[in-house]
Every structure is written in C-alpha cells, then in structure tokens.
C-alpha cells in the first residue's frame, strides 16, 4: 500500500501565465533541490513511495502539472511545450539555480523538452520510462484513458481493483480520484499531438536529446511488462546525449518508482548525488 509519507510537506501555489501550479515542498536546509514531475493523468502524490527516502537527502518540490491534481485547469494549453513553460516558471519563481529534475513518463518528456531549451541549467536529470517515440497504438491508449477519466471515482476505483487486485482499496480510490479529476483537455490535446505525429511520420522524439548538456539518467523498465522505452531508443539515448546514461530495471514495467521502489531508489539516489556525472 502507498501510504502518506512521514516527511512534512508545505503546500504552495505558483501562478504562471494565469495558471496556478500547485506544489508540495519538503524542505531540507542546505541540501540540493530536486523537482519531481508526474506522468499523464496523475499528480504529485504519485511520488509518495519515494518521498521519505529522497527527503532525507534532498530539498524536494513535488509538482502537480497543469490540468492535474490541485493545479489550475484552463480550457486548453496541454501540450508538452506548455508544461515545459510552466516548469521553467516554477524553477524561476523558486529561484532554483541548478536544480535536479526527476520526471516520470509525461513528466520525463517535459523535463527533456525543457532541458533542450536550457541545455546546462539543470544540475542533473532523471527521466523515468519516457516514450521517446510515439508508438503506433498510442491513440487506443488515449481512448482508454479518456474513458476511464470520464467515470465516477467509485466506478474508476472498481476498474483499478479488477485490473490490479494486489492494490489496496485505498490505493484504488486514490488513483481513481486522481485520473477522474484530470481535465479532459489534457488527454484530448496530447492525443491530437500524437495523431499529428503519426500522420506526419514525426514520431521520433530523440532529436531533442542532442541539445541537453546536463548529466542525464534514463531509468527504464521491461517492455514485456509495459515499459514505453523501445530498446533501440535506450542505445540512442546514450549515443546522442553528451552526458547520458541508462539503467534498466528488468522486473518492472512503466511505473518503476511505484512497482520497483527499492531498485529505483538504488539507481536514482547515487546519480542525484553526483555519481557518474563526469
């Protein structure tokens, strides 16, 4: 069961472009800042499995992306570029000179896009199982997410309980409340972006990697268990990224920090502390 972390968080709101971005700060004086970005249809609380371990070493900022969680939900503005703009505004508002950024899935793509426009701003990047290319079946996946998000929390919780029988009732309800509170435009705009990429043959996202100069760690799962990282893209990440590394967690799929917490922390903490940056 994913329980509330013991670390004490302080909730804050940062307004950027007329949109309120909610975050929870877990302060640790004198320690390096780490910004945490969740995946599609989720919220900052998705990081709860790793908060206590990270909060012992770093000054954390757990962000709700726009359209998710407690952040503002405008009618539009849900493409990766919009999220990256918000990330930049949050970092500037918090006066973080050289943050470490950890992003999962959509949050990882946002991290990479932001870093491609600010090549050396971050001290380090950790990207957890991002889809570095638009997969051919992604439109079906978006349709499923949209249908799930349109359910009531109770209906969605029942679906999660059926799909993940090892989850507690509390976990199922928390996840259901999260996805059903995500504004529909989030799924609609990113689906349209994916459809456009598939139609135009512009599905490869690895072109943004070359500009990133910060040390970067790609943590990915097993494609047979649901990882969204193609094996060939792991090789390309290391080849293209000037300071890129990759690490596999073979016993988990896409949500590594939740499903393989110990292995995720064993990979990520040393890297965030500076191991392998040279």
Averaged over 182-197, what is the pLDDT? 96
Query: For position 120, what pLDDT does the model report?
Result: 84
CATH architecture, range 10-133+204-272: 3-Layer(aba) Sandwich (3.40)
* The token pair that represents 120 in the structure block: 């050396």
Query: For position 276, what pLDDT does the model report?
Result: 84
Report domain extents, the chain.
10-133+204-272, 135-202
Query: For position 2, what pLDDT does the model report?
Result: 65
Cα gap 234→51, rounded to integer Å = 27
List, for residues 116-166, the tens digit of each pLDDT value: 999 889 999 999 999 999 999 999 999 999 999 999 999 999 999 999 999
List, for residues 109-118, the tens digit of each pLDDT value: 999 999 999 9
Residue 1: which pLDDT band, with cuts at 50, 70 and 90?
Answer: low
List, for residues 14-44, the tens digit of each pLDDT value: 999 899 999 999 998 889 999 999 999 999 9
List, for residues 69-85, the tens digit of each pLDDT value: 999 999 999 999 999 99
Q: Which of 2-6, 62-66, 207-211 shows the lowest per-residue confidence on average (mean pLDDT)? A: 2-6
Q: Is 207 exposed, middle or buried (0-12, 13-18, 19+ CB in 10 A)?
A: exposed
Query: For position 154, what pLDDT does the model report?
Result: 97
Quote the mean pLDDT of the chain. 95
List, for residues 235-260, the tens digit of each pLDDT value: 999 999 989 999 999 999 999 999 99
């Amino acid at each position: 069961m994913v329980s509330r972390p013991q670390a004490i968080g302080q909730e804050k709101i940062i307004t950027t472009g007329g949109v309120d971005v909610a975050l929870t700060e877990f302060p640790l004086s004198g320690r390096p800042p780490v910004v945490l970005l969740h995946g599609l249809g989720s919220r900052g609380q998705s990081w709860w499995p790793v908060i206590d371990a990270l909060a012992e070493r770093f000054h954390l900022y757990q962000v709700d992306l726009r359209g998710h969680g407690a952040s503002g939900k405008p009618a539009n503005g849900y493409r990766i570029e919009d999220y990256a703009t918000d990330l930049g505004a949050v970092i500037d508002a918090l006066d973080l000179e050289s943050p470490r950024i950890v992003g999962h899935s959509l949050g990882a793509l946002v991290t990479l896009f932001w870093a491609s426009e600010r090549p050396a701003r971050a001290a380090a990047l950790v990207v957890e199982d991002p889809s570095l290319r638009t997969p051919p079946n992604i439109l079906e996946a978006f349709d499923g997410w949209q249908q799930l998000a349109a359910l009531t929390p109770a209906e969605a919780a029942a679906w999660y309980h059926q799909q993940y029988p090892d989850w507690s009732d509390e976990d199922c309800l928390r996840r259901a409340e999260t996805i059903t509170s995500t504004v529909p435009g989030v799924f609609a705009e990113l689906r349209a972006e994916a459809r456009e990429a598939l139609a135009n043959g512009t599905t490869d996202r690895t072109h943004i990697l070359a500009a990133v100069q910060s040390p970067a760690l790609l943590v990915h799962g097993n494609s047979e268990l649901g990882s969204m990282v193609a094996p060939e893209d792991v090789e390309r990440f290391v080849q293209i990224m000037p300071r890129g590394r990759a690490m596999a967690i073979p016993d988990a799929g896409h949500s590594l920090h939740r499903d393989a917490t110990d292995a995720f922390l064993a990979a990520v903490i040393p890297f965030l502390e500076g191991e392998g940056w040279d």
